[in-house]
Amino acid sequence: MEIHTGEIYGKQTASKFVMYNVLKVSKSIVTLQNIDNPLSLFETTAQKLSTSGYVRISQTPYIDLQASTPKKRKAARKPTRCPLTFDFLEERADSQRPAPILPDLFN
C-alpha cells in the first residue's frame, strides 16, 4: 500500500465517519491529522492503517479555509495550488470536504 502526503483517509467509528489528512510519510511511519480536530495527530504504519479499516477517500488535499489562526504564528506549509481550484476528477474544490465513501451494506 503506497501512501502519499496530502491524501485523505477515513474510518467508520460507532457513531460517525472520521476523516484524516496524511501530514507526513517517512520510511515506516505515517502521521495523520484529524480533519475536524487539527490538534489531534497520531502516528501509525502503512500496514496498521490498512488492517485497521482505514479507506483512502481522496488523493486531493483538504485545505480548511475557515481555520482560525493560532496565537503563535508558525511557518505554515503553503498549499501547492489554490484552495478554490475545482478538481473535476474529485468533483470538489480543495477547500471542500471530500464525501465519505461508505460501503453499500444492504445490497
Please tell me the predicted confidence (pLDDT) of residue 67.
Answer: 63
Q: Can you give the pLDDT of all 107 residues of the chain as single tens digits?
A: 688 888 899 988 888 888 999 999 988 899 999 988 888 899 999 899 889 889 998 887 777 777 666 666 655 666 667 777 888 777 888 888 888 776 655 55
d(CA 8, CA 12) in angstroms, rounded, equals 14
Element (H, E) at 31: strand 30-34
Question: Are the C-beta atoms of 22 and 30 separated by less than 8 Å?
Answer: yes
Domain boundaries, the chain: 1-60+79-99
Predicted local distance difference test score (pLDDT) of residue 75: 59
